[in-house]
């Protein structure tokens, strides 16, 4: 059993048997990692703890201590002119957004708040969680994801060493791009203590064009046309009628949505040009509806209340999304889902299916030839029995093991979170 | 001459056997063994560093690449991957006891997919070749390094190449969707594809910019973009670099991300104007080109806003392009900066650091002092939006000692970049050129972490040895080890 060091006051949350460690300095964190490694035990990393149900649950064969990075929550440097922000990973995302908004900036990749999706309160997610799980919203299709805006970090590796990579400037190719590598690694490589991200100006205004009553296949063509146009479309999504009705006032049928952001005269001109190119019925939803709508899509709000369903997020080439969505709904009429990223992202909620114990893993992965399907939310027994993340070919899995070991040779950090 | 790992005498002695084995794996035309023909591969764009390789192979497909790597892995022969050889950091410099693996014969575009806005290409296709292949439909590939007519997409991935538009459109790494990679042992891996998120660890992020140390790229899927409807530029002259830098800061603070934003200092303005005669003002200390691209309404709107900001910043001269010819004329000088430096000086070294823009004035002053100290001229071009500085150090290689002085001057500039919170290289890569400066930016623990990543891919350390990491100080816990020929004894043993 790991003994808590003098400087760590173990907190015993009511629901957990083991103490939660909350180091406040990289030195304390490094000491904790070293002693955990010596004891042959493991650390379950988190900062806001909103995403603890995403990924594989800890396996029972190793003692897992809860390690919170919430103590690393300082704003270290914010230089709006340089487009960089350096903070501790424990800083709440809401705080980051508010800080940037004061200078009319934002994170381009539109990180969502998935707390409510996991039955947690809204607003507890942290920037560390956003980076660890590579969260991105609808703008991912044009602005890139968390990895595209991650510039540098300081961290402690699984050997208990304090190290850094990347830098605090927006353009840097010095050494391996480890900042990208730790993004989306679900805390399996290193425990971050400081991150530098690129920030961008926030747009003056936003509007959304809505084309009603298209089939998913036709919607995909329209989205490809829009995203391939010179009209600077920022994101494009397709909602079936049931979801459109919930999110868009007055909507009665399926909705194909094209978002435009930027300077007001530019948004106006681009909206007019696109409407002329589309022809037919096109509605403009306006700035207020747009902001709420795209936030809801990023946060996957339509799926929050579907407690019985297993939730999936599938990433495919944009033109492949519609056929998968239709194939699912053809045999599972109660499934809920929509397309984002111009068709390249499918959100799905699958209700329990007679005789199916894998949450739909075999069914869905059978439909995905190029891309990957992630089991976003499912009961723990399901997540313990099927791969939450798309299985890798053996040679790649072996490389992933070697890479993990190069950071964390004793498998101290989240050893089973990504699977075997 | 930069120091390279000591060649392994055993490999040199086996050269004939190795060449014979390569002829067994590849058609005769794909192996270059004779000394005269090999000479063409002895250096890349950093021609001050030269080394004749053991042999050169030019495989035609992934299977041949894998066969060569597998053989070299078994035989312990180092491999230096090479695209077009335009590296500005010596990334493709051969080693005496290793072969050069040229990807030039893998030069086909495999798939153009407009609905998914993706192109699948072999690595030997040039950067501009991709843009040209999709131009008829109004698309292009965004990263545009200045060597784009020659450099290959495989090399771009290896170096994470940038260009003048990367503040708005990103570097190579932000525009890659998929890769096919061959590991040193011949294992073929396919990563990502046309989907946006590749899944699992961010292999694409790690491999892009890994300078050929982790694997050999045999296929690339890139993201293509629709060309902006229009572009216009402002040419602004300022009484000092400080004021010009402030103007850049104010443009960004106003929420404007220009397609390109380039600065030149007085020596660079004079050198380029003398070379191309495009009417640059000669009485200013700093010249700024600000290019706005996008929908015409937006560009006109932003031209007016940037123009107002320039007035507030007391720009001494201001021209706004009214035609495509005029816009291109604004750029002509900037794009000719390197040959213009070549015209006023027999030789020049092009450096590539990034600094926080707020430090610009301090860095320029210090560089002026260093220029005095070394007695060497200096001209500066600067990707002002993202802080990427390209000082051109002017020297004459025929004067004894001048090259060494120029190298020392360059190293001082890069140290200065790190000192003010910047980095050693913004887009050219570390290669051999900045290898020994890595400890200025990274601790031994930082570097060891990166070395272990290398080890996970290439445990025998055979791929592109002598690059990126400083030589001779490989630190294993428990003491320093001398590593000969880039080969670690007992690489399979864990070292803690």
Q: Rounding to the nearest 10 degrees, give the CA dihedral for residues A85, A91, A95, A101.
A: 10
H or E stretch at B229: none
% chain A with pLDDT above 90: 91
Q: Give the mean model confidence (pLDDT) for residues A227-240.
A: 97
Q: Report whether pLDDT(A205) > 50.
A: yes
Q: Determine the pLDDT at residue A18.
A: 58
Listed residue (B332, B334, B288) closest to B314, CA to CA? B288
% chain B with pLDDT above 90: 89
Mean of the per-residue pLDDT values of chain B: 93
**What confidence tens digit (pLDDT) does each residue in B47-62 have?**
889 999 999 999 999 9
**Residue A230 is encoded by which pair of tokens?**
């010179």
Q: Which residue of A has its CA nearest to B164?
A: A171
Q: Hey, is the C-beta of B168 within 8 angstroms of any chain A C-beta?
A: no
| CB distance A102 to A126 below 8 Å | no
> Tokens 């509806």 identify what position?
A289
Asked if A104 lies within 8 A of B423 by C-beta distance, the reply is no
Judging contacts by C-beta atoms under 8 Å, the chain B residues touching residue A140 are 196-197
Asked if B301 lies within 8 A of A265 by C-beta distance, the reply is yes
ipTM tops 0.85: yes
Q: Report whether pLDDT(A211) > 60.
A: yes
Rounded to an integer, what is the distance from CA B252 to the centroid of its chain?
25
Helices (H), A137-207: 140-143, 178-182
Q: Determine the pLDDT at residue A420.
A: 67
Q: Which residue of B has its CA nearest to A394?
A: B189
Question: What is the C-alpha to C-alpha distance for residues B421 and B356, in angstroms, rounded to an integer?
Answer: 7
**Residue B489 is encoded by which pair of tokens?**
């004894």
**pLDDT grade for B489, boundaries at 50, 70 and 90:** very low
Order of strands across the sheet that contains B55-57: B31-32, B55-57, B99-102, B79-82
**Span(s) in chain B for CATH 3.30.465.10:** 109-226
Q: Determine the pLDDT at residue A419.
A: 87
CA distance A228 to chain B (A): 6
Beta strands in B60-116 (DSSP E): 79-82, 99-102, 109-113
Q: Determine the pLDDT at residue A303.
A: 97
* C-beta atoms surrounding A40 within 10 Å: 12
> Which 8-state DSSP code applies to residue B136?
G
Nearest CB among A183, A319, A390 relative to B199 is that of: A390
Q: Among A47-51, A325-329, B79-83, whose mean pLDDT is lowest?
A: A47-51
Q: Determine the pLDDT at residue A411.
A: 97
Domains recognised in chain A with CATH numbers:
1-202 (3.30.465.10), 205-299 (3.30.70.2190), 302-385 (3.30.70)
**pLDDT grade for A304, boundaries at 50, 70 and 90:** very high
H or E stretch at A346: strand A345-350
Judging contacts by C-beta atoms under 8 Å, the chain A residues touching residue B354 are 167, 169-172
CA distance B245 to chain A (A): 10
| CB distance B228 to B347 below 8 Å | no
Q: Hey, is the C-beta of B449 within 8 angstroms of any chain A C-beta?
A: yes
| CB distance B138 to A230 below 8 Å | yes
Q: Is domain B9-102 annotated with CATH 3.30.43.10?
A: yes
Determine whether B328 is exposed, middle or buried from the number of CB atoms within 10 Å of its CB (0-12, 13-18, 19+).
Answer: middle
Q: Determine the pLDDT at residue B164.
A: 87
Packing angle between helix B241-253 and helix B360-374, nearest 10 degrees? 150
Phi, psi of B360 (to 5 degrees): -55, -50
**Residue B235 is encoded by which pair of tokens?**
């040419």
**What confidence tens digit (pLDDT) does each residue in B345-357 have?**
999 999 999 999 8
Question: What is the C-alpha to C-alpha distance for residues B378 and A192, in angstroms, rounded to an integer?
Answer: 40
Q: Give the mean model confidence (pLDDT) for residues B397-412.
A: 96
Judging contacts by C-beta atoms under 8 Å, the chain B residues touching residue A270 are 295, 297-298
Q: Report whether pLDDT(B314) > 60.
A: yes
Q: Among A298-312, B25-39, B302-316, B474-488, whose mean pLDDT is lowest?
A: B474-488
| CB distance B470 to B126 below 8 Å | no
Question: What is the C-alpha to C-alpha distance for residues B21 and B324, in angstroms, rounded to an integer?
Answer: 55
**What confidence tens digit (pLDDT) does each residue in B102-138 have?**
999 999 999 999 999 999 999 999 999 999 999 999 9
DSSP 3-state of A407: helix
Rounded to an integer, what is the distance from CA B290 to the centroid of its chain?
23
| CB distance B143 to A253 below 8 Å | no
**pLDDT grade for B485, boundaries at 50, 70 and 90:** very low
**What confidence tens digit (pLDDT) does each residue in A3-55 have?**
444 344 444 444 444 568 999 999 999 999 999 999 999 999 998 889 999 99
Q: Hey, is the C-beta of B173 within 8 angstroms of any chain A C-beta?
A: yes
**What confidence tens digit (pLDDT) does each residue in A392-407 have?**
999 999 999 999 999 9
Q: Among A12-26, A284-298, A352-366, A405-419, whose mean pLDDT is lowest?
A: A12-26
Which numeric CATH code is attached to B230-337? Answer: 3.30.70.3450
| CB distance B431 to B469 below 8 Å | no
Asked if B302 lies within 8 A of A263 by C-beta distance, the reply is yes
**Residue A72 is encoded by which pair of tokens?**
């690393």
Question: What is the C-alpha to C-alpha distance for residues B195 and A145, in angstroms, rounded to an integer?
Answer: 12
**What confidence tens digit (pLDDT) does each residue in B163-211 have?**
889 999 999 999 999 999 999 999 999 999 999 988 899 999 999 999 9
Q: Report whether pLDDT(B312) > 80.
A: yes
Mean of the per-residue pLDDT values of chain A: 94
CA distance A418 to chain B (A): 8
Q: Hey, is the C-beta of B470 within 8 angstroms of any chain A C-beta?
A: no
CA distance A33 to chain B (A): 15
Q: Give the mean model confidence (pLDDT) for residues B300-317.
A: 97
**Span(s) in chain B for CATH 3.30.43.10:** 9-102
DSSP of B336-397, one letter per residue?
THHHHHHHHSSEEEE--EE--GGGHHHHHHHHHHHHHHHT-EEEEEEETTTTEEEEEEEE-T
Q: Is domain B109-226 annotated with CATH 3.30.465.10?
A: yes
**pLDDT grade for B472, boundaries at 50, 70 and 90:** low
> Which 8-state DSSP code applies to residue B463?
B
**Span(s) in chain B for CATH 3.30.70.3450:** 230-337
**pLDDT grade for B471, boundaries at 50, 70 and 90:** confident
**Residue B143 is encoded by which pair of tokens?**
């990263």
Q: Report whether pLDDT(B482) > 60.
A: no
CB pairs under 8 A between A and B: 259
Q: Determine the pLDDT at residue B420.
A: 97
**What confidence tens digit (pLDDT) does each residue in B369-385 have?**
999 999 999 999 999 99
**What confidence tens digit (pLDDT) does each residue in A254-288 have?**
999 999 999 999 999 999 999 999 999 999 999 99
CA distance A226 to chain B (A): 10
Q: Report whether pLDDT(B494) > 80.
A: no
Q: Determine the pLDDT at residue B480.
A: 35
Query: Given 1.10.10.60, 1.25.40.10, 3.40.50.150, 3.30.70.2740, which CATH number is that of B345-429?
Result: 3.30.70.2740
Judging contacts by C-beta atoms under 8 Å, the chain B residues touching residue A370 are 193-195
Question: What is the C-alpha to C-alpha distance for residues B47 and A255, in angstroms, rounded to an integer?
Answer: 59
Question: What is the C-alpha to C-alpha distance for residues B211 and A414, in angstroms, rounded to an integer?
Answer: 30
């Amino acid at each position: 059993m790991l003994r808590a060091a003098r400087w760590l006051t173990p907190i015993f949350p009511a629901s957990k048997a083991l103490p939660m460690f909350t180091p406040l300095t990289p030195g304390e964190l490094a000491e904790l990692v070293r002693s955990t490694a010596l004891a042959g035990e493991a650390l379950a990393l988190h900062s806001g703890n909103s995403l603890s149900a995403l990924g594989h649950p800890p396996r029972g064969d190793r003692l897992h201590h809860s390690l919170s990075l919430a103590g690393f929550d300082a704003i270290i440097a914010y230089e709006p002119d340089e487009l960089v922000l350096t903070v501790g990973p424990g800083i709440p995302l809401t705080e980051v957004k508010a800080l940037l908004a004061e200078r009319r900036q934002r994170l381009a990749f539109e990180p969502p708040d998935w707390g409510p999706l996991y039955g947690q309160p809204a607003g507890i997610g942290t920037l560390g969680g956003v980076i660890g799980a590579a969260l991105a919203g609808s703008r991912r299709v044009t602005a890139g994801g968390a990895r595209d805006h991650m510039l540098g970090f300081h961290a402690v590796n699984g050997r208990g060493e304090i190290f850094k990579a990347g830098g605090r400037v927006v353009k840097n190719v010095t050494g391996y791009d480890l900042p990208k590598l730790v993004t989306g690694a679900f805390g399996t490589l290193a425990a971050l203590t400081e991150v530098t991200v690129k920030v961008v100006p926030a747009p003056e205004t936003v509007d959304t064009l809505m084309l009603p009553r298209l089939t998913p296949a036709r919607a995909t063509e329209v989205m490809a046309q829009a995203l391939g146009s010179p009209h600077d479309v920022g994101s494009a999504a397709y909602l079936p009628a049931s979801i459109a009705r919930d999110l868009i006032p007055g909507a009665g049928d399926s909705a194909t949505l094209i978002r435009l952001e930027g300077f007001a005269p530019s948004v106006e001109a681009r909206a007019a040009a696109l409407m002329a190119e589309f022809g037919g019925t096109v509605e403009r939803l306006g700035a207020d509806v747009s902001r709420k709508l795209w936030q809801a899509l990023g946060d996957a709000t339509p799926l929050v209340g579907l407690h019985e369903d297993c939730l999936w997020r599938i990433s495919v080439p944009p033109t492949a999304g519609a056929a998968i969505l239709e194939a699912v709904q053809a045999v599972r009429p109660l499934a809920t889902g929509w397309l984002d990223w111009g068709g390249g992202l499918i959100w799905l909620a699958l209700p329990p299916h007679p005789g199916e114990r894998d949450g739909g893993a075999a069914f869905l992965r059978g439909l995905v030839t190029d891309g990957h399907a992630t089991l976003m939310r499912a009961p723990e027994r399901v997540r313990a029995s099927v791969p939450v993340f798309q299985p890798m070919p053996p040679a790649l899995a072996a490389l992933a093991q070697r890479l993990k070991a190069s950071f964390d040779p004793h498998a101290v950090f989240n050893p089973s979170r990504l699977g075997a | 001459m930069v120091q390279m790992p000591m060649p392994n005498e055993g490999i040199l002695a086996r050269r004939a056997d190795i060449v014979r084995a390569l002829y067994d794996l590849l058609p005769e035309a794909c192996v270059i063994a004779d000394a005269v023909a090999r000479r063409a591969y002895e250096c890349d764009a950093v021609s001050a560093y030269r080394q004749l390789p053991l042999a050169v192979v030019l495989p035609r497909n992934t299977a041949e690449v894998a066969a060569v790597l597998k053989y070299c892995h078994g035989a312990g022969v180092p491999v230096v991957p090479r695209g077009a050889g335009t590296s500005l950091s010596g990334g493709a410099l051969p080693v005496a006891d290793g072969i050069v693996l040229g990807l030039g014969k893998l030069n086909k575009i495999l798939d153009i997919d407009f609905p998914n806005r993706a192109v699948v290409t072999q690595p030997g296709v040039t950067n501009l070749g991709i843009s040209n292949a999709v131009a008829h439909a109004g698309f292009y590939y965004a990263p545009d390094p200045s060597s784009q007519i020659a450099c290959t997409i495989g090399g771009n991935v290896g170096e994470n190449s940038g260009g003048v538009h990367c503040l708005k459109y990103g570097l190579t790494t932000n525009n890659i969707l998929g890769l096919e990679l061959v590991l040193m042992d011949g294992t073929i891996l396919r990563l990502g594809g046309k989907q946006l998120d590749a899944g699992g660890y961010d292999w694409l992020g790690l491999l892009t910019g890994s300078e050929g140390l982790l694997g050999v790229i045999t296929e690339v899927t890139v993201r293509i973009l629709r060309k902006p409807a229009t572009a216009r530029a402002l040419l602004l002259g300022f009484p000092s670099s400080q004021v010009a830098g402030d103007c850049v800061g104010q443009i960004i603070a106003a929420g404007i991300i220009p397609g390109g934003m380039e600065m030149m200092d007085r020596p660079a303005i004079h050198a380029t104007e003398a070379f191309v005669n495009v009417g640059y003002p000669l009485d200013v200390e700093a010249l700024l080109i600000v290019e706005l691209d996008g929908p015409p309404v937006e560009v006109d709107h932003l031209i007016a806003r940037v123009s107002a900001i320039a007035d507030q910043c007391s720009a001494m001269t201001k021209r706004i392009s009214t035609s495509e010819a005029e816009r291109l004329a604004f750029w002509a000088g900037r794009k000719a900066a390197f040959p213009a430096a070549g015209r006023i000086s027999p030789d020049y070294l092009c450096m590539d650091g990034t600094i926080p823009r707020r430090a610009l004035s301090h860095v320029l002053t210090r560089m002026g002092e260093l220029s005095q100290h070394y007695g060497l001229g200096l001209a500066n071009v600067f990707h002002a939006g993202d802080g990427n500085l390209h000082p051109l150090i002017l020297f004459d290689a025929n004067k004894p000692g001048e090259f060494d002085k120029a190298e020392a001057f360059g190293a001082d500039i890069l140290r200065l970049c790190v000192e003010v919170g910047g980095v050693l290289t913004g887009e050219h890569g570390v290669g051999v050129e900045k290898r020994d400066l890595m400890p200025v930016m990274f601790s031994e623990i930082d570097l060891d972490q990166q070395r272990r990543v290398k080890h996970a891919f290439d445990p025998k350390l055979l791929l592109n040895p002598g690059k990126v990491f400083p030589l001779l100080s490989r630190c294993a816990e428990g003491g320093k080890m001398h590593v000969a020929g880039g080969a670690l004894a007992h690489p399979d043993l864990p070292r803690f």
